Chains A and B, each alone.
Chain A
Amino acid sequence: MQRTSSEATISANRAQAFPLKTATPESKTTIPAPPVPPTLQFQPTIYTEGNDPYPFLNPATTTSAPNPFVTSSEPAPPPLAPAQLAQPPAAPAGLPVAPGDGGPLTVGDAHFWKLRFWQRYFNVDTKMVGKRLLLSLIPITDAFWRSLNDGVPSSSSASTAVVDPGGMIFPGEKAQPPAAVAPTLATRRNSDLYGPFWIITSLIFLMGIVGNLASWFEFVPTEAQPTWRYNFYDVTYATASLYPFLLFCSGGLWLLLTFCRKPEAPAGSPPVTSVPNPTGANPADVFSAPIGTPAPAPTTTAPAAQPKAGPTTTVSLVDMICVVGYSFTVYLPVAIVSILPWAALRWVLIVLACAMSAAFVCRNLWGLFMEGGSLWRTVLFLGLYVLASVGISLFMEFFFFVYAYAH
Chain B
Amino acid sequence: MSANNPFDDGHTPQALVPPLPAASVNPVASGAPDLISDTTGLISGQETAAPAQNPGQPQAQDTLNEPVWQTIWRDFRRIAIKMSFVFLPRKSRVASELHDWDLWGPLVATLTLAVILSLTAPPSQSELLFTAIFVISWLGGSVLTFNSLLLGGKISFFQSVSLFGYCLFPLTFCAFLVAILKLVLGGDSSLFLVLKIIFVVVTLGWSTFACVPFLSDLVPTGRKTLALYPVFLFFCCMAWMVLMVK
A-side residues, CB < 8 A to B, are 39-40, 42, 89-97, 99, 115, 118-119, 121-122, 124-127, 129, 194, 198, 201-202, 205, 208-209, 212, 227, 229-230, 232
Known contacts: A89-B4, A115-B150, A205-B233. The answer to whether A230 contacts B223 by CB under 8 A is no
Question: CA–CA, A171 to B220, complex, Å?
Answer: 17
Q: Which residue of B lies closest to A95 (CB)?
A: B152
Q: In the complex the two chains form, is A92's CB within 8 Å of B4's CB? A: yes
Q: In the complex the two chains form, is A205's CB within 8 Å of B151's CB? A: no
Known contacts: A125-B222, A126-B224, A198-B229. The answer to whether A115 contacts B125 by CB under 8 A is no
Q: In the complex the two chains form, is A126's CB within 8 Å of B152's CB? A: no
Give the chain B neighbours of A118 by CB distance below 8 A. 150
A99 to chain B, nearest CB (A): 7
A73 to chain B, nearest CB (A): 41
Q: Which of B150, B222, B226, B229 contacts A119 (CB 8 A)?
A: B150
Q: In the complex the two chains form, is A94's CB within 8 Å of B125's CB? A: no
What are 15 A-B contacts defined by CB distance under 8 Å?
Answer: A93-B5, A93-B155, A94-B153, A96-B152, A96-B220, A97-B152, A99-B222, A115-B6, A124-B223, A125-B223, A209-B240, A229-B125, A230-B125, A232-B125, A232-B129
B246 interface residue (CB < 8 Å to A): yes
Q: In the complex the two chains form, is A129's CB within 8 Å of B226's CB? A: yes
* B211-244 near A? 1/0 per residue, CB < 8 Å: 0000000101011111001100100110010001
A389 to chain B, nearest CB (A): 24
Question: CA–CA, A115 to B155, complex, Å?
Answer: 13
Give the chain B neighbours of A95 by CB distance below 8 A. 152
Q: In the complex the two chains form, is B122's CB within 8 Å of A229's CB? A: yes
Q: Which residue of A lies closest to B187 (CB)?
A: A227
Give the chain B neighbours of A93 by CB distance below 8 A. 4-6, 149, 152-155
Give the chain A neighbours of B236 by CB distance below 8 A. 205
Known contacts: A94-B153, A94-B218, A125-B222. The answer to whether A230 contacts B246 by CB under 8 A is yes
Give the chain B neighbours of A127 by CB distance below 8 A. 222
Q: In the complex the two chains form, is B245's CB within 8 Å of A230's CB? A: yes
Q: In the complex the two chains form, is A227's CB within 8 Å of B223's CB? A: no
Q: Is the interface of B mostly helix, strand, loop or mixed?
A: helix
Q: Which residue of B lies closest to A202 (CB)?
A: B233
Give the chain B neighbours of A205 by CB distance below 8 A. 233, 236-237, 240
B128 interface residue (CB < 8 Å to A): yes
What number of B residues sit within 8 Å (CB to CB) of A?
Answer: 34
A249 to chain B, nearest CB (A): 23
B132 interface residue (CB < 8 Å to A): yes
Give the chain B neighbours of A202 by CB distance below 8 A. 233
Question: CA–CA, A122 to B151, complex, Å?
Answer: 6
Q: In the complex the two chains form, is A126's CB within 8 Å of B222's CB? A: yes
B14 to chain A, nearest CB (A): 20
Q: In the complex the two chains form, is B224's CB within 8 Å of A232's CB? A: no
B72 interface residue (CB < 8 Å to A): no
Q: Which residue of B lies closest to A228 (CB)?
A: B246
Give the chain A neighbours of B151 by CB distance below 8 A. 122, 194
Question: CA–CA, A119 to B149, complex, Å?
Answer: 8
B50 interface residue (CB < 8 Å to A): no
Known contacts: A97-B152, A232-B129. The answer to whether A40 contacts B233 by CB under 8 A is no
B194 interface residue (CB < 8 Å to A): no
Q: In the complex the two chains form, is B244's CB within 8 Å of A230's CB? A: yes
Q: In the complex the two chains form, is A232's CB within 8 Å of B132's CB? A: yes
Q: Which residue of A lies closest to B5 (CB)?
A: A93
B3 interface residue (CB < 8 Å to A): yes
Question: CA–CA, A94 to B223, complex, Å?
Answer: 13
Q: In the complex the two chains form, is A39's CB within 8 Å of B3's CB? A: yes
4 pairs of A and B residues whose beta carbons are closest in the complex:
A94-B154, A93-B6, A125-B222, A122-B150
Q: Which residue of B lies closest to A124 (CB)?
A: B226
Known contacts A93-B152, A99-B222; 17 further A-B pairs (Cβ under 8 A): A89-B4, A93-B6, A93-B149, A94-B152, A97-B220, A115-B146, A115-B149, A118-B150, A119-B150, A121-B150, A122-B152, A126-B225, A194-B147, A201-B230, A209-B240, A227-B246, A232-B128
Give the chain B neighbours of A39 by CB distance below 8 A. 3
B193 to chain A, nearest CB (A): 11
Question: CA–CA, A76 to B129, complex, Å?
Answer: 59
Give the chain A neighbours of B154 by CB distance below 8 A. 92-94
Q: In the complex the two chains form, is B244's CB within 8 Å of A212's CB? A: yes
B126 to chain A, nearest CB (A): 11
CB interface residues, B 143-164, toward A, < 8 Å: 146-147, 149-155
Question: CA–CA, A212 to B224, complex, Å?
Answer: 32
Question: CA–CA, A96 to B220, complex, Å?
Answer: 6
Question: CA–CA, A96 to B149, complex, Å?
Answer: 11
Q: In the complex the two chains form, is B225's CB within 8 Å of A40's CB? A: no
Give the chain B neighbours of A125 by CB distance below 8 A. 220, 222-223, 226
Known contacts: A40-B3, A227-B246. The answer to whether A94 contacts B155 by CB under 8 A is yes
Give the chain A neighbours of B220 by CB distance below 8 A. 96-97, 125
Give the chain B neighbours of A99 by CB distance below 8 A. 222
Known contacts: A97-B152, A119-B150, A194-B226. The answer to whether A90 contacts B4 by CB under 8 A is yes
Question: CA–CA, A369 to B122, complex, Å?
Answer: 54
Q: Which residue of A lies closest to B222 (CB)?
A: A125
Question: CA–CA, A94 to B153, complex, Å?
Answer: 5
Question: CA–CA, A92 to B152, complex, Å?
Answer: 9
